[in-house]
Amino acid sequence: MEQELDRRQVMKALGAAGITVGLAGCSSGGDATETDTDGGNGNGGATATDSDGGMEGFEARVGVLMPETGDLGSLGVLIRDGALLAGTQINDAGVEVTVDNQVEDTQTDPQAGISGAEALVNGGYPAVVGPASSNVNLAVAQEVYIPNAVVGMSPSSTAPAVTNLDDNDFIFRTCPSDLLQGPVMAEVAANRLGGSTSSALFLNDAYGQALKDSYVAAFEELDGQVINEVSFEPGQASYSSQWAEALNDNPDVVMVVGFPESGIQIFRDYYGEYASDNDADILVPDGLIDDDLPDEVDNDMANVTGTAPATAGPGAEFFNNSFQEQYDTQPGPFSAQAYDAMAVLVLAAAAAGENDGTAVRDNIRAVANPDGTEVTPGNLAEGAVMAMNGESVNYQGASGAVSFDDNGDLQAATYDILEVQDRDFEPVDQIEFSG
């Protein structure tokens, strides 16, 4: 069943939030990993022409900057694999367009992310899928991408601060802003879970703070009362004191924002010390949607509900089946958004006919926003050839309709509502937001 979240309700809540657009999103990079999805042809991505001046072939160079380790490592690997899948499929198709990828690990750390991004720039990659987390994305965008005229397209950096970067239009994302997810979570807390009071337990970084602010404003707009707002630092040995504060006065719902590495200890402490005396519903966003989490915590986590950007595009079924076949596992949150980011950047590079950041940037909306022949994950390789040959294409992705506004943000998004069933996060409903 799909619900539609009223745009006027969302915008009213956002106005009530008084959110300061500063460092904020999926937030929080290491040994580098290099992956050349076609073995490389040594031409640096240059085009070749035949004697009649027609294009013979093109190699698109797109880097991947993801957290393979650190607090977001368990999810980052699945996001990375979503991006690489698009390149692999194009290369395996045997068409005139090929893809060269190189992977760098952000370690979920801004400084390591900057180092990884610099390695990609020095390696000649004019466009990059990533980073994943907003703390890293904001640092990398300002220190590396923008000064070097490199396109950055994050599949999972949801911080509102990304929208208003002074980026000369080099920063895009295929995930929606948390200015949307906050109201979605508030809708779930108030209307699905029936909560009238709530606490927020949130990671003390850009992602946690901004999502908490967005949620609080929207929940209060729905006549709910937020009684405790408690921040935490990653990697702590215990979160017992934070839980004691968050659970004070018995809130109906506790909204928890964090990442899996810290989430293991957070939920071990909750179920070990507080769950037996508390009947609150727990609500988590995409950063904690990890099927390994219940087993790591060693609890069914049956009182946990989650929200995450959905895989709801025309290519969703093809993508899910392809991911399973390629990696022998199911995609995770933002895997589809990473696939779409890679697809768009390859199409834009092919349309530009050169591996130049400015040229790629200038072709992104041309290949993603209407009009043109529809290209989906199912005919991506064919679409890349069409783009290379100057034909108009319109990419419709695995995650949804990938159409960018003037800030490089999505114009529409669909969210999954998930419940933990048999220790897995299972989608049970959807909420759609159209801008």
> What confidence tens digit (pLDDT) does each residue in 213-238 have?
999 999 999 999 999 999 999 999 99
- Write down the pLDDT at residue 315: 94
Rounded mean pLDDT, 164-168: 96
Helices (H) and strands (E) in the chain, counts: 13, 16
- Write down the pLDDT at residue 28: 40
Which pair of tokens denotes residue 336? 């589809």
- Write down the pLDDT at residue 370: 84
Task: Give residues with Cβ within 8 angstroms of 383, minimum separation 6.
Answer: 347, 373, 375, 393, 395
Number of Cβ within a 10 Å radius of residue 197: 17
- Write down the pLDDT at residue 35: 44
Say what percent of the chain tops pLDDT 70: 87
Residue environment code for 79-114, b if the CB has 16+ CB neighbours within 10 A, otherwise e: bbbbbbbbbbbbbebebbbbbbbbbbbbbbbbebbb
Among 1-5, 106-110, 247-251, 330-334, which stretch is predicted with the lowest mean pLDDT? 1-5
What the chain holds in terms of domains, given with CATH numbers, is: 2-23+179-311+417-434 (3.40.50.2300), 48-177+314-412 (3.40.50.2300)
Distance, in Å, from the CA atom of 211 to the CA atom of 159, rounded to the nearest integer, reads 8
14: confidence class by pLDDT, cuts 50, 70, 90: very low
Peptide bond just before 131 cis, omega within 30 deg: yes
Contact by Cβ (8 Å): 156, 13: no
The H or E element spanning position 118 is helix 110-122
Which pair of tokens denotes residue 70? 């650190």
* Per-residue model confidence as pLDDT tens digits over 109-141: 999 999 999 999 999 999 999 999 999 999 999
Contact by Cβ (8 Å): 274, 317: no
434: confidence class by pLDDT, cuts 50, 70, 90: low
Contact by Cβ (8 Å): 97, 352: no
Transcribe 389-431 into DSSP letters.
TT--EEE--SSS---B-TTS-BSEEEEEEEEEETTEEEEEEEE
Conformation bin of residue 312: beta by default, left when phi > 0, alpha when psi is -120 to 50: alpha
| Of 104 and 50, the one with more pLDDT | 104
* Per-residue model confidence as pLDDT tens digits over 362-402: 999 999 988 899 999 999 999 999 999 999 999 999 999 89
* Per-residue model confidence as pLDDT tens digits over 172-201: 999 998 888 999 999 999 999 999 999 999
**Mean model confidence pLDDT for the chain:** 88
pLDDT of 13 higher than 50: no
39: confidence class by pLDDT, cuts 50, 70, 90: very low
Rounded mean pLDDT, 15-19: 38
| Of 14 and 117, the one with more pLDDT | 117
| Of 419 and 36, the one with more pLDDT | 419
Q: What is the pTM of this model?
A: 0.80
* Per-residue model confidence as pLDDT tens digits over 261-295: 899 999 999 999 999 988 999 999 999 999 999 99
